[in-house]
Chains A and B, each alone.
Chain A
Amino acid sequence: MSKEEAFRAQVKKVYRLLMLLLALFIISGGGLMYYMVNPDALDFMSKTETVAFAPIEVDEDRIENGIHVRTGLIDAEGLMTVVNNCTNCHSSKLVTQNRMNAERWNATIKWMQETQNLWDLGRNQEVIVNYLVTNYPPKAKGRRMVLSDIDWYELED
């Protein structure tokens, strides 16, 4: 082998080495760039989670089977007036478990205004009381009710 050929071969080697370095540089540089833009790319362990998107899309006031889902109140005339005025401070459960006539509801509203910071209901008061006495009328119970809704089961010793 002549001196010249040996030199050529060496140049080729150096050239290949440089090309390899360049390729490595481009690949790793590109990878780093990608990582900067999308820092989660190397985080193989994490699962994608959406942080509480669901409540935003749900209709707060949806009705199912004639019931206002969020409060459990019957869907009827005056429903939203009751929801907006009567479920801020206390639960709707306090409304539905109490069955009163118009006079006693009005007295109860007066008591809430005098002692519990309830606002003036204006014309809405009539709408609310009408809704309550129509949809949640008092039930006659007498001096002792019959036992009902009994869940019968076999009693083993």
Chain B
Amino acid sequence: MKRRDFVKKATLSSFATLIGTELVFGSKMLNGYTPLALQDPDPFKLFNKHKDMVVLNDKPWNIEAQAHLLDDKITPNSCMFIRNNGLVPEDIDPNTWTLTIDGESVKTKKTYTLSDLKSKFQQHTYQLTLECGGNGRAEFDPPAKGNQWTIGAVHCASWTGVRLRDVLENAGIKSNAVYIGYHAVDKHLSMDPNKEPISRGCPMTKALQDETLLAFKMNGEDIPLVHGYPLRLVAGGWPASVSGKWINRISIRDKVHDGTKMTGTAYRVPCKPVAPGEKVKDEDMCIIESMPVKSLITYPKTGAMIKNGKSLTIRGHAWAGELEVAKMEYSIDFGSTWNTCPLEKPENRLAWQHFSAKIDFPKPGYYEVWARATDTNGIAQPMLLPGWNPKGYLNNACHRIAVKVT
């Protein structure tokens, strides 16, 4: 054996022990190339994310934005949070991808290719607010387990696809239909092929809304892999976990869907309010539906110092789950007084709304600008943490930024 080949082969076999598998065609590898398995996974490059995004978890990947990254009216991919329950699938072939509609309450089980969906049904585009049910979890005391999201697990992108309703009606919905449940191709962290990382859904009323889409485009382009390529269910205003990624099957159920993370305590809050830290039985936990009213100040970034006498422009977004935001206010005196600020109408139902204000400060010093949204039912964001719940969901407490007038 030639010496050089021997060295290469020896290196490749140590490789095999490193990555736990043989490197087939390793000898054909280009000089100077480091195999993917050994590359340091840089999530910012991997998912095209802004450098200020915060990695909460790398297995599975969970990454959140910071308030100032969400300043765009339509969130670009670079600043969209990533929430995964399992492993991001690989080797997706859009040409062979199919979506099957089945379940107890489907009239005819039907399978559609991606081109069927694109050609047989009318396409629609909506801006839809998706917020993780656990956004704000980090603030709960006693702490709740799970990814400690602060404020950045929300985005409003523009989604293009076909209405879920049109596809479900094409297959036929029996009169006893109650719920839909999605199934997808992502793998469970344990690699157990019999386990689904997540399989959630929504009641028929939500499934049949105009804005509930089977989307294949995000912000005008193919959906990025980590956000659900090639097909994602998008149900704006509800916990983002309803908007399943990498969807290949939707079941029309004659009961509340019982897939992974539908049961037990997942995406559920106590049906009745409980004291912080109180134990709650599974049967006393209710499924989260619409997300609560909330807002974010996206400009300026917290920590701004301005000269005395200068006014400060703030802007941000507000959203209210299934509802609309009716009023937007800010306070610079810790809630003693509130000022109403201009608020735009949503681009479409379930899109977040934009607000802005020009603030004058009475004298130099440390200030906090607090923002408070009120929905069309008159429900406002609390300044303190809302009701404690075992899994730390639905924290819609007011967002605030620190400002110094010098």
Does chain A bind chain B? yes
Q: Which residues of A contact B (CB under 8 A)?
A: 37-40, 46-47, 49-53, 55-56, 89-91, 93-94, 97-100, 104, 108, 116-117, 138-145, 147, 150-155, 157
Q: How many A-B residue pairs have CB under 8 A?
A: 106
Is A141 within 8 A of B139, CB to CB? yes
| Residues of chain A lying within 8 A (CB to CB) of residue B2 | 37, 39
B60–A90 touching, CB < 8 Å = yes
- Min C-beta distance of B219 to chain A, whole Å: 28
Q: Tell whether, in the assembled complex, residue A98 and residue B145 are in contact, meaning their CB atoms are under 8 Å apart.
A: yes
Docked pose: A153 CA to B303 CA in angstroms: 6
| Docked complex Cα distance between A55 and B300 (Å) | 43
For residue B123, CB closer than 8 A to chain A, the reply is no
Asked if A155 contacts B11 (CB within 8 A), the reply is: no
Hey, which chain B residues are within 8 Å of A108, CB to CB?
145
Give A140 to B368 CA distance when docked, in angstroms. 22
Name the A residues within 8 Å of B18 (CB-CB): 52, 55-56
Task: Give every chain B residue within 8 A of A143 (Cβ-Cβ).
Answer: 141, 384-385
Chain A residue, CB-CB nearest to B397 = A144
Contact among B38, B148, B301, B383 with A97 in the assembled complex (CB-CB below 8 Å): B148
Q: Are A93 and B4 in contact (CB under 8 A)?
A: no
Bound-complex Cα distance A154 to B301 (A): 11
Q: Are B11's CB and A53's CB within 8 A?
A: yes
Are B143 and A144 touching (Cβ within 8 A)?
no
A144 adjacent to B385 (CB under 8 Å): yes
In Å, the complex CA distance between A101 and B358 comes to 46
Q: Given the complex, which residues of B lie within 8 Å of A144, measured CB to CB?
A: 139, 383-385, 397
| B92 proximal to A (CB < 8 A) | no
User: Contact check: which of A52, A116, A150 meets B402 at CB < 8 Å?
Assistant: A150
Residues on B with C-beta less than 8 A from A147 are: 302, 368, 400, 402
Q: Is B304 interfacial (CB 8 A cutoff)?
A: yes
Q: Are A90 and B189 in contact (CB under 8 A)?
A: yes
Q: Is the CB of A155 within 8 A of B143?
A: no
Complex alpha-carbon distance, A108 and B147, angstroms: 14
Given A90-B59, A143-B141, 6 new contacts (CB under 8 A): A46-B31, A51-B34, A52-B35, A56-B14, A108-B145, A141-B141
Distance (whole angstroms) from the CB of B120 to the closest CB of chain A: 39
Q: In the complex, what's the smallest C-beta–C-beta distance from B285 to chain A, in angstroms?
A: 14
Is B145 a contact of A52 with CB atoms below 8 Å?
no
Which of B8, B35, B145 contacts A100, CB < 8 Å?
A: B145
Q: Is the CB of B32 within 8 A of A47?
A: yes
**A91 touching B57, Cβ below 8 Å:** yes
Task: Establish whether residues B8 and A51, one from each chain, have CB atoms under 8 Å apart when the complex forms.
Answer: yes
26 A-B pairs within 8 Å (CB atoms) are namely A39-B4, A51-B33, A52-B38, A55-B18, A89-B189, A94-B147, A98-B143, A99-B143, A116-B189, A116-B190, A117-B190, A117-B195, A138-B143, A141-B139, A142-B141, A144-B139, A147-B302, A147-B400, A147-B402, A150-B302, A150-B303, A152-B305, A152-B404, A154-B305, A155-B305, A157-B310
Q: Which 7 A-B pairs have the closest CB atoms?
A: A141-B141, A155-B304, A117-B190, A49-B32, A91-B59, A143-B384, A97-B148
Q: Decide: B195 and A97 in contact? CB cutoff 8 A.
A: no
A52-B11 contact given A98-B148, A155-B304, CB 8 Å threshold: yes
* CB atoms of A90 and B57 under 8 A apart: yes
Given A51-B8, A154-B305, residue A145 in contact with residue B139 (CB < 8 A): yes
CA of A53 to CA of B13 in the docked complex: distance in angstroms? 11
Residues of chain A with a CB closer than 8 A to B147's CB: 94, 97
User: Does B15 belong to the interface (CB within 8 Å)?
Assistant: yes
In the complex, whether B306 has a CB less than 8 A from a CB of chain A is yes
Within 8 A of A (CB), among B302-345: 302-306, 310, 312
Residues in B with CB closer than 8 Å to A40 are 4
- Chain A residues within an 8 Å CB radius of B368: 147
Q: Report the bound CA distance from A56 to B19 in whole Å.
A: 11
Q: In the complex, what residues of B have CB within 8 A of residue A39's CB?
A: 2, 4
Q: Which residue of A lies closest to B60 (CB)?
A: A90
Interface residues of B in 125-174 (CB under 8 A from A): 139-143, 145-148
What distance in Å separates the Cβ of A116 from its nearest Cβ neighbour in chain B?
6
For the complex, give the distance between the alpha carbons of A56 and B402 in Å: 48
Query: In this complex, what residue of B is CB-closest to A157?
Result: B310
Report the minimal beta-carbon distance from A49 to chain B, rounded to whole angstroms.
Answer: 4
Q: Which residues of A contact B310 (CB under 8 A)?
A: 157
The interface residues of chain B lying within 8 Å CB-to-CB of A100 are 143, 145
CB contacts (< 8 Å) of A157 on chain B: these are: 310
Given A38-B4, A94-B147, A144-B385, verify A89-B190 contact (CB < 8 Å).
yes
